[in-house]
Structure 1
Amino acid sequence: MSSKEMSAMEEGMFLTVKQICYSSDAVKLMQKVIAEVVGTYFVIFAGCGSVVVNKLYDGIVTFPGISVVWGLICMVMIYSVGHISGAHFNPAVTITFCIFRRFPMKQVPVYVVAQLLGSILASETLTLVWDIPRDAFFGTVPVGPASRSLVLEIIISFLLMFVVSGVATDSRAIGELAGIAVGMTITLNVFVVG
C-alpha cells in the first residue's frame, strides 16, 4: 500500500474494493503468484515430460538426459521469472526462506498454492497430451530401505538449499550466476539420487 493509501486509512477514510485490488502491493503479489504458477508449470511439464517420453519410447531420453532436462528447465525458469517472484517453484524452498527470514510469512500460503496449482496443471497437461491412463505410474521407487531414501533426500535437499542460499540470497554472491548454479545442482541431485 502506498503512503497516500495508508494515510487515508489512518484518517478513517475507507478505500473501495477497486482501490485495494489495484494497489501496488496487490498487483506486485499477483505478478509474483502468476510467475510462480508459470515457472512451476514449465518445470514440472518439462521435467516430468522427459520422464514420460523416456518411459513411452523405451528409454530414448536416458537417465542422464532426464537429469539434464530437470537442471536446464530450472535454470531457464530462474532466468525467466526469478526477477519477479524469486523463482522458488517448490514449497520446500519457500518455507525454508521463510524460516530463515528471507521471505515474508504472509506470502507463504499464496506461494505454496501457486506452486501446487502450477504442478497440477502441468501434470494434467501431460496426461491429456500423452493420453496417459489415470492409473499409470512413471515415478521412481526406492531401491533398498526407506531410511536410505530419507537420508538421500535430506542430503540433496540440504545441498539444494545450501546452493540457493549461497547464490540467491547472499548479497556478496554474483546473482547473475544463480540460475546456472541452481540448475547444475538440480542436475547433479537428479543424476546422483534420481
Structure 2
Amino acid sequence: MASKSENMRDEDIRKIEEGGFNSTNIPKTNYNIGFCSSAAVVTITQKVIAELIGTFFVIFAGCGSVAVNKIYGSVTFPGVCVTWGLIVMVMIYTVGHVSGAHFNPAVTITFAIFRRFPVWEVPLYIAAQLLGSILASGTLALVLDVSPKAYFGTVPVGSNAQSLALEIIISFLLMFVISGVATDNRAIGDLAGLAVGMTILLNVFVAGPISGASMNPARSIGPAIVKHVYKGLWVYIVGPISGTILGGFAYNLIRFTDRPLRQLTLSASFCNFKTTSATTTTTGPN
C-alpha cells in the first residue's frame, strides 16, 4: 500500500505533465533537499572554484614570468609587465561572469565594505585566493630551479616606507579603475577586463622595480609561504588593502548616480528643462 507521501509525489508529477503545477503549493517538509544540492551551495562552490583557479593561473603566469626572467633572462622586464596585464585580463573574461574575478583579497574586502559583495562570502573568497596563490607558487618551485636570486615573490628594494607608499598608490589606482568599469552601469562593461589588465601593466612598469608592484596580498603571501621569505611581507598586506579601500571610497565620492548616461543627459540635474520620465537603475558588482 502506497504511503501518503508517495501519493502526493505522484499527484505532483501528474500536475507537472498537465501543466498545472505550482511550486508554491508544495509544503517544504515534503522535499528535503540535501545541503550539497541546494542552489545557494552550488553557486558559492562554483564561485570559490573559479576564484581558486583564476588566482592560480594569475600567480602561475605572473610570478612564473618573473622567475623565468631571473633564471634565463629571456622574458625582459617589459615582458613581465605585459604578462601580468594579459593574464589578469584573460582570467577576468574567463571567470568574471562566474565569481566576479577578484583574485585579490584586498578587492574582495573593499567590495564588501562598500556593500557590493556579501560579507559572509569574504572568508571563502580569501581562502580560495590564498590557496590558489600557494598552489601556484608551489608548482613554480617544483618545476623551476628557483634560487634565492630567482625569488618570484615581492621584497622591498628600498625602504619599507617607500614600498608601502607605492603599494598604496598603485592599489588606489587599481581599485579606482575597477570601481569605474565594474560597478558603474554607465561604463562600457565589455571593456572591464581590458581596462583592469592595462592598469596592472602600467602599475608594474612604474612600481615593479621598487616594490614588486604586488597590489594583491595573495600575490605576495603565496610565494612567501612556499619559499619562506617574509621580509617586508606586512607592506604587501597593509599597502594593497589600504590603497583599494581608499580607491573605492574615492570613486564612490564621484559616483553621481546609478542611472545610465542617456538618462542623466535628460535629467534636470544637467539641463534646465524637465524630463518626461526617469527610471532608476540599480548597480551591482560585476
| Matched AA of 2:121 | Q
8 Å contact 2:52–2:129 — kept in the other structure?
A: yes
* Residue 23 of structure 1 pairs with residue 7 of structure 2: no
Q: Distance between the aligned counterparts of 1:174 and 1:162, measured in 2?
A: 15
Query: Which string of whole-angstrom CA distances, capped at 9 and with x for unpartnered residues, describes residues 5-41 of structure 1?
Result: xx72xxxx4975x622111111111110110011000
1:190 to 204, 210, 218: 204
Go from structure 1 to structure 2 and tell me whether the alpha carbon gap of 1:132 and 1:148 turns closer, same or farther (over 3 Å shift).
closer
* Residue 45 of structure 1 pairs with residue 60 of structure 2: yes
Query: Which string of whole-angstrom CA distances, capped at 9 and with x for unpartnered residues, describes residues 81-128 of structure 1?
Result: 000000000100100000110000000000000001111111111111
Q: Distance between the aligned counterparts of 1:147 and 1:134, measured in 2?
A: 23
* Residue 116 of structure 1 pairs with residue 130 of structure 2: yes
Q: How many correspondences in the alignment? A: 185
- Percent identity over paired residues: 70
Alignment of 1:48-59 (within 5 A): 48-57=63-72, 59=73
CA RMSD in angstroms comes to 2.2
| Matched AA of 2:45 | M
| Matched AA of 2:74 | I
TM-score, reference length from structure 2? 0.61
8 Å contact 2:89–2:196 — kept in the other structure?
A: yes
| Matched AA of 2:94 | S
Go from structure 1 to structure 2 and tell me whether the alpha carbon gap of 1:14 and 1:104 turns closer, same or farther (over 3 Å shift).
farther
Go from structure 1 to structure 2 and tell me whether the alpha carbon gap of 1:61 and 1:24 turns closer, same or farther (over 3 Å shift).
same
Q: Distance between the aligned counterparts of 2:30 and 2:81, measured in 1?
A: 53
Instruction: For CA contacts below 8 A with separation 6 or more, give which structure has more relative contact order.
Output: 1
8 Å contact 1:127–1:133 — kept in the other structure?
A: no
Alignment of 1:42-191 (within 5 A): 42-57=57-72, 59-132=73-146, 137-191=151-205
Q: Distance between the aligned counterparts of 2:162 and 2:146, measured in 1?
A: 31
Query: Which string of whole-angstrom CA distances, capped at 9 and with x for unpartnered residues, describes residues 69-89 of structure 1?
Result: 000000000000000000000
Q: Distance between the aligned counterparts of 2:151 and 2:31, measured in 1?
A: 51
The structure with the greater share of residues assigned to helix is: 1
Q: Distance between the aligned counterparts of 1:147 and 1:131, measured in 2?
A: 31
Q: Distance between the aligned counterparts of 1:156 and 1:172, measured in 2?
A: 24
